[in-house]
Amino acid sequence: MTQAPDLGAVPRRPWQRLLVGGLLPAGIKIANAGLGYLTTLIAAWLLSPAEYGLFGAVIAFSLLCSFALSYGQPVAMIKFYHEQLVASGERAADRQLSWSLLVGGLCLLLCTLAGALWLFAGKTDARGLGLIVLFCLLFSAGELLSVALRVKERMLAALAPRDALWRALVIAALSLLWLGGKAATTSQLLLLMSLLLLPCLAYQLRLLGPHLSWVWRGEGARLHRRSCAFWGIVLTGPILTQAGTLIVSGSFGLDDSGAYFAAERTSNLLTFLLVAIHIVVGPRLARAFETRDFATTQRLVGLSALLAGGASLLLFVPLALFGNEVLACFSPRYAGQGALLSWLALAQLCNAMAGVTAFFLQMAGFERLTLILSAWFALLSLGLQLLAARLGSLEGVAIASAGVSLLLNLACILACRRHTGVDSTLLGVFRQGGAFR
C-alpha cells in the first residue's frame, strides 16, 4: 500500500532539498501570483464597480495586516530563529518562534479591529464589517504560520495549503458563481474565502504544535525590543503599495478605488519571481551570513537581483504599452487608466531590480539603518500620496509611489555596499572575491 506524501516532512537528501526547498516552493509562489491575479479578475466580473472597489480596499487592508501590522514578526522569525539556532540550539530557537507567533498574533488582532472600524465603518453594514475583520485575521494568520514553517524548512507545508490549494479552490468557487450568472457581493466573497481558508490554517497549526512553547520573560523582552526595528522596516512596503488603494478609496470613491486596485494587482505581476526568490533564498541567506560565508552570500544576493530584475523587465514593457487593454479586462470603465498601471509597474520594476537588498541588510544586523531609510521614505511616500489625493490627481498617487520606490531602493543598494561589502545589484553575480566589512 502506497503511503501518502507528508507535506510536513523535512527533506534529507541533497536532491530532495533542492526540489522541496527550492524548485517546488518557487513554482508554488509563481503559481500563487497567477492564481491571485486570476482571483481579482474573476471578482471584477462578479461584482459591481462599487462593490469591487470595496473588495479591492479589503484585499489591500488584508495585505497591509499580513506584512505590516504583525509587528515585523515574519522577518523577525527568519532572522532570530537562525541566530538562536546557531547560538543556543533548536529548543531556544523554538521558544523564539513561539514568541514571534504570540506577539504577531496579538498585534494583528488589535490592529485589524482598529483599522477595520476606521476604514470600513461607513462603507458596509455590521455583518460586512465582521466578515472583513474575519478574513483579514485569517489571511494574516496564514502568513505568520507560513513563515514559521519556512524557518523549520517545511517548505511544502508552508506554501501548498494557502498559496496553491486555497487559491485554486477560491478560483473554482468564483468561476462556478460567474458561469451560473449569479451576482455577488463583497460580503459573500469574503465569507466564501474565509471558510475555504480555515482547513488550510488548521493543518499548518497542527504541524507547528509540537514546536510551540512558552518563552521566559527576559528573552521575550529582548526580542520585543529588537522587533520594533523590523516592524518599522516591513511597514514601508505596504505603505508604498497597498496604502495607495486605501487613500484612493477614501479620497476618490469606490469606483476609482477599483481601477487603482486592478492596476496595483496587475503591477504586482512584475515581482512574482522576486517573491519566489525571497521564499527560497531567505533561510539560506540567513544561514550563509551567520556562518560568515561571503562567497555564498554574494552569489545569492547577486543572482536574486539578476533573475528578478530580468523577469520584471520582460513584463514591464507590454504592461506599459498595453495598459488600457489590460485594465479593460477587469471592466470597460477602467480602460482609460493605463497611465496608472504604467507608473505602478515602474515602482515594482524598481523593487525587482533591487532584489533582496533590504532583506539582506536586516539579516546582516543593520536593521536600525534600514529602519531609518524605510521610515523616511515611507513618510515621504505617504505624504506625497495624500497631497496628490488632496489635489485630485489619481495619477499623482501612483507617481508618488513609483518615485519614492526608486529612491528607497537606490539608498538601500548604496548602504548595503558601504556597510557589508556585498554588491546587491545584478552585477554582483559576476563579482569575484571580497569579504564582509
Q: Could you tell me if residue 130 is inside a domain?
A: yes
Residues 141, 68, single domain; the answer is yes
Residues 215, 318, single domain; the answer is no
Rounded to whole angstroms, how far apart are CA atoms 265 and 65? 17
Which of 229, 259, 281 is where one domain is finished? 229
Q: Could you tell me if residue 106 is inside a domain?
A: yes
Buried b (16+ CB within 10 A) or exposed e, 160-178: bbbbbbbbbbbbebbeebe
Q: Could you tell me if residue 6 is inside a domain?
A: no
Residues 126, 38, single domain; the answer is yes
Q: Could you tell me if residue 420 is inside a domain?
A: yes
Residues 27, 61, single domain; the answer is yes
Residues 208, 266, single domain; the answer is no
Which of 229, 251, 269 is where one domain is finished? 229
Residues 240, 139, single domain; the answer is no
Q: Could you tell me if residue 211 is inside a domain?
A: yes
User: Which H or E run contains 403?
Assistant: helix 394-420
Which of 229, 247, 264 is where one domain is finished? 229
CA proximity to 338, closest of 384, 392, 394: 394
Q: Which residue has the cell 495619477?
A: 395
Domain range spanning residue 126?
A: 15-229
Residues 258, 218, single domain; the answer is no
Which sign does the torsion angle of CA 422, 426, 427, 432 carry?
Answer: positive
DSSP 17-51: HHIIIIIHHHHHHHHHHHHHHHHHHHHHHHS-HHH
CA proximity to 342, closest of 364, 318, 359, 366: 318
**Based on the structure, what is the number of domains in the chain?**
2
Residues 270, 410, single domain; the answer is yes
Q: Could you tell me if residue 4 is inside a domain?
A: no
How do the pLDDT tens digits run along the chain, 437 residues long?
444 444 444 445 544 554 555 567 767 777 877 888 899 999 999 998 889 999 998 988 888 777 665 555 666 676 677 777 777 778 877 877 787 787 778 878 888 888 888 888 888 888 999 999 999 999 988 888 888 888 787 878 888 888 889 999 999 999 999 888 877 899 999 999 999 999 999 999 898 888 777 655 445 555 555 555 566 666 666 666 677 888 888 888 878 888 899 998 899 888 877 877 776 777 677 778 777 888 888 888 888 888 888 889 999 999 999 999 999 999 888 888 899 999 999 989 988 888 888 888 877 778 778 878 887 888 898 899 999 999 988 899 999 988 998 999 999 999 988 888 888 888 877 776 666 76
Residues 177, 35, single domain; the answer is yes
Residues 269, 342, single domain; the answer is yes
Q: Could you tell me if residue 271 is inside a domain?
A: yes
CA 303, distance to chain mean position in Å, is: 20
Tell me which DSSP letter residue 166 carries.
I
Residues 213, 266, single domain; the answer is no
Rounded to whole angstroms, how far apart are CA atoms 255 and 276? 32
> Contact at 8 Å (CB) between 405 and 416?
no
Rounded to whole angstroms, how far apart are CA atoms 223 and 218? 9
Q: Tell if the pTM clears 0.75, that is, is over it.
A: no
Rounded to whole angstroms, how far apart are CA atoms 146 and 10? 15
> Contact at 8 Å (CB) between 37 and 174?
no
